[in-house]
């Protein structure tokens, strides 16, 4: 029954890392996945153009929560430009389980929201 | 009481090629019938028969193929009409329920002003919310909701219909709660205030024996693909007297009686609402689907799925950590929405899929209702007459496995 829901992924779902909201933030962005009703709010503290701290408030399926949890662990000290350049493969490699086409949006919601938030902060258009 | 014939489910299942397929190496258990039903061989073959043997445009062709296609297309109107106890001029072919409702929102909308109100319910599908919401935005009219009670039924003590209500548009069977709404009673109240009653019959026409004259609705919308027909063919029923009066919203070929450089006159009903080349094979295949349903008998179909739904309700209720939505009594439709506590519906559906079980997960196109229920999404298992108790057993035992994975 279960090749997508490996224990490690489920651990990130049940105990998501960097979960919650920063009180003191420079970037706040809310996004949803209308397909399944996943909701996500990110808050980011920026210092010298680098991510000093980030929190994800994610409510949704195991795939979307686990992917935001895993992504959150990779972000500290990255420059905003570096984050904008992260591609979908980066997140899919982090998740490291086969994601069916219908679930890609769940897996990629956190990266998309993060990039949109940063682009808004920098006053740039997000290149899809 | 007339004795209702029992269905021979084993024999029936052989008529549906897809039901013997394997999905992910497991026998398909198809429990997403509220989204779309599967199709019997006869319906599938009727489409290829049309294209292989008499493909031709309808209405104006003076040749044998065109004549045959036209007769079949007209016969499809008759069959749909008989199925719901209407007359054939009252049946307009559209793409689906959504298109039927949009046609009404535009056509009836021309008479709506900012003094008027339109009444819908809290359990509507987006297709019976958004067209009216948009109409209200265009005209300044007020959109009112009949609310639901804790049981998941309409609160009939507080129906916001008054003398300024022009349209009451109500879902017959909720695609989320399975509630069967008392549309006839709501219609009486609407008519007392000179408002029109529109029924969204997408979930009811495939499952219940509908006598539209008896319900006395002014209009009804439904889709072919939820009742064994192909996608892309839907129906708008309207009382003759209304259809004669209201204007079409699509203009062009087929729907005119005369055209000059300055003006045009419309042809008779229902054709004035069917501009352009219609979905001919869709209409013909829907008629074949109706023949099939009538051969089984809507009473027998209704009995079987009622029994199946009661069984599913009993079995699902015994699971731990499950929330079931909608009425618990026998008078409900053949779908059950639920949540396994702590597990997102998409994860449930994904894991069931590995077992070959197809259910629906999400907001089911009813976001306002999801808000009322206090959830972002639900799982929904929905049944049709070809489903069996064994399939429900598979569903329940696989749900237990899902709970194990997430333990």
Q: For B259-274, write each residue's pLDDT tens digit.
A: 999 999 999 999 999 9
Query: Can you list the positions of beta strands (E) in B182-279?
Result: 196-200, 219-223, 234-238, 256-259, 264-266
Question: Whose structure tokens read 């949704």?
Answer: A60
Question: Whose structure tokens read 């009444």?
Answer: B119
> Are B240 and B87 within 8 A, CB to CB?
yes
Chain A residues within 8 A of B401 when measuring between CB atoms: 1
> What is the per-residue pLDDT for A127?
74
Residue B118 is encoded by which pair of tokens? 């339109």
CA distance to partner chain B, nearest, from residue A24 (Å): 28
Cα–Cα dist B233/B229, whole Å: 8
B362 closest CB neighbour out of A10, A37, A59: A37
Region of poorest pLDDT, from A89-98, B69-78, B312-321, B332-341:
A89-98
> Are B92 and B276 within 8 A, CB to CB?
no
Pairs of CB atoms within 8 A across A/B: 53
Q: Which fold has domain B44-295?
A: 3.40.640
Cα-to-chain-centroid distance, residue B209 = 13
CA distance to partner chain B, nearest, from residue A68 (Å): 16
Cα–Cα dist B369/B121, whole Å: 9
> What is the per-residue pLDDT for A4?
79
For B315-353, how does the pLDDT look when each residue is reduced to its tens digit (9 = 90+)?
999 999 999 999 988 789 999 999 999 999 999 999 999
**Residue B345 at interface with chain A, using a CB cutoff of 8 Å:** yes
Q: Where are the domains of chain B?
A: 9-30+297-405, 44-295
**Residue B376 at interface with chain A, using a CB cutoff of 8 Å:** yes
In total, chain B counts a number of residues equal to 407
CA distance between the termini of chain A = 34
For B134-182, how does the pLDDT look when each residue is reduced to its tens digit (9 = 90+)?
999 999 999 999 999 999 999 999 999 999 999 999 999 999 999 999 9
Q: Do A37 and B405 touch (CB under 8 A)?
A: no
> Are B222 and B97 within 8 A, CB to CB?
yes
Query: What b/e sequence results for A48-59 when a residue is b if at least 16 CB atoms lie within 10 Å of its CB, and e otherwise?
Result: eebbbbbbbbbe
CATH number at residue A85: 3.90.1010.10
> What is the per-residue pLDDT for B356?
97
Structural domain for A20, as ranges:
7-121
> What value does the CA radius of gyration of chain B take, rounded to a whole number of Å?
22
For residue A126, tell me if it sits in a domain.
no
Chain B residues within 8 A of A34 when measuring between CB atoms: 363
B221 pLDDT more than 70: yes
A128 pLDDT more than 70: no
Chain A residues within 8 A of B380 when measuring between CB atoms: none
Q: Do B362 and A35 touch (CB under 8 A)?
A: yes
> What is the per-residue pLDDT for B331?
83
Fold match between domain B9-30+297-405 and domain B44-295:
no
**pTM for the model:** 0.94
A1 pLDDT more than 80: no
Architecture of domain B9-30+297-405: Alpha-Beta Complex (3.90)
B365 carries an active-site annotation? yes
Cα–Cα dist B246/B234, whole Å: 19
For A26-81, how does the pLDDT look when each residue is reduced to its tens digit (9 = 90+)?
999 999 887 777 889 999 999 999 999 999 998 889 999 999 999 999 999 999 99
Q: Do A1 and B376 touch (CB under 8 A)?
A: no
Beta-strand pair B91-94/B234-238: antiparallel
How many independent structural domains does chain A possess? 1
**Residue B370 at interface with chain A, using a CB cutoff of 8 Å:** yes
Residue B112: what are its φ and ψ, rounded to 5°? Answer: -85, 135
> What is the per-residue pLDDT for A97?
87
CA distance to partner chain B, nearest, from residue A18 (Å): 20
CA distance to partner chain B, nearest, from residue A48 (Å): 38
Cα–Cα dist B371/B398, whole Å: 28
For residue A1, tell me if it sits in a domain.
no
> What is the per-residue pLDDT for B3?
75
Show which of residues 21-50 on chain A sit within 8 Å of chain B, judged by CB atoms.
34-39
Cα–Cα dist B199/B181, whole Å: 10
| Cβ-proximal residues to B8 (8 Å cutoff; 6+ apart), any chain | none
For residue A70, tell me if it sits in a domain.
yes
Chain B residues within 8 A of A39 when measuring between CB atoms: 376
Q: What angle do CA B226, B304, B331 make, to 5 degrees?
A: 85
Over residues B94-108, the mean pLDDT reads 98
Residue B355 is encoded by which pair of tokens? 């077992």
Q: What is the DSSP string of A22-64?
A: -SS-SEEEEEEETTTTEEEEEEEEEETTEEEEEEEEEES-HHH
For residue A47, tell me if it sits in a domain.
yes
Judged by DSSP in three states, B122 sits in coil
> How far, CA to CA in Å, does B240 sit from each of B94, B219, B237, B245, B316?
17, 10, 9, 9, 45
For B366-383, how does the pLDDT look when each residue is reduced to its tens digit (9 = 90+)?
999 999 999 989 999 999
> Are A17 and A9 within 8 A, CB to CB?
no
């Amino acid at each position: 029954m279960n090749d997508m829901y490996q224990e490690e992924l489920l651990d990130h779902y049940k105990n998501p890392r960097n979960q919650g909201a920063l009180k003191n933030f420079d970037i706040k962005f809310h996004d949803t996945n209308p397909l399944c009703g996943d909701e996500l709010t990110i808050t980011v503290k920026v210092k010298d153009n680098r991510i000093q701290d980030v929190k994800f408030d994610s409510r949704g399926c195991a795939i979307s929560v686990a992917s935001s949890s895993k992504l959150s662990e990779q972000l500290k000290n990255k420059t905003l430009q570096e984050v904008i350049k992260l591609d979908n493969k980066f997140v899919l490699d982090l998740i490291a389980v086969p994601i069916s086409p219908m679930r890609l949006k769940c897996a990629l919601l956190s990266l998309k929201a993060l990039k949109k938030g940063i682009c808004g902060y920098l006053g740039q258009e997000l290149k899809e | 009481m007339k004795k209702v014939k029992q269905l021979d489910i084993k024999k029936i299942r052989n008529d549906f090629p897809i039901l013997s397929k394997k999905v992910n190496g497991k026998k398909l258990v198809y429990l997403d019938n509220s989204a779309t039903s599967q199709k019997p061989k006869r319906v599938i073959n009727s489409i290829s028969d049309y294209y292989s043997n008499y493909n031709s445009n309808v209405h104006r062709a003076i040749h044998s193929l065109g004549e045959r296609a036209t007769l079949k297309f007209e016969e499809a109107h008759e069959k749909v009409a008989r199925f719901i106890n209407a007359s054939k001029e009252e049946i307009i072919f559209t793409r689906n329920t959504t298109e039927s409702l949009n046609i009404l929102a535009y056509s009836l909308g021309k008479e709506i002003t900012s003094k008027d109100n339109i009444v819908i319910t809290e359990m509507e599908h987006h297709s019976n919310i958004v067209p009216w919401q948009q109409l209200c935005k265009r005209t300044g009219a007020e959109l009112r909701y009949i609310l639901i009670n804790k049981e998941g039924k309409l609160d009939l003590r507080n129906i916001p219909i008054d003398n300024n209500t022009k349209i009451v548009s109500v879902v017959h069977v909720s695609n989320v709660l399975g509630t069967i709404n008392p549309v006839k009673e709501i219609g009486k109240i609407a008519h007392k205030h000179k408002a029109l009653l529109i029924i969204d019959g997408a979930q009811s026409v495939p499952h219940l024996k509908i006598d539209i004259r008896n319900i006395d609705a002014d209009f009804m919308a439904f889709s072919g693909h939820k009742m064994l027909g192909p996608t892309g063919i839907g129906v708008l029923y309207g009382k003759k007297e209304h259809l004669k009066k209201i204007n079409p919203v699509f203009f062009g070929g087929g729907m005119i009686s005369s055209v000059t450089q300055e003006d045009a006159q419309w042809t008779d009903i229902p054709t004035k609402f069917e501009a352009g080349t219609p979905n001919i094979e869709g209409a013909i295949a829907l008629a074949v689907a109706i023949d099939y349903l009538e051969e089984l008998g809507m009473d027998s179909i209704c009995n079987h799925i009622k029994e199946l739904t009661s069984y599913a309700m009993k079995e699902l209720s015994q699971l731990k950590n499950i929330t079931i939505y909608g009425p618990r009594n026998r008078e409900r439709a053949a779908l059950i929405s639920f949540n396994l506590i702590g597990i997102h519906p998409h994860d449930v559906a994904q894991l069931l899929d590995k077992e070959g079980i197809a259910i629906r997960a999400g907001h089911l196109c009813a976001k306002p209702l999801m808000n009322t229920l206090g959830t972002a999404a639900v799982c929904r298992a929905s049944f049709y007459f070809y489903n069996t108790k064994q399939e429900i057993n598979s569903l329940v035992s696989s749900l237990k496995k899902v709970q194990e994975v997430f333990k």
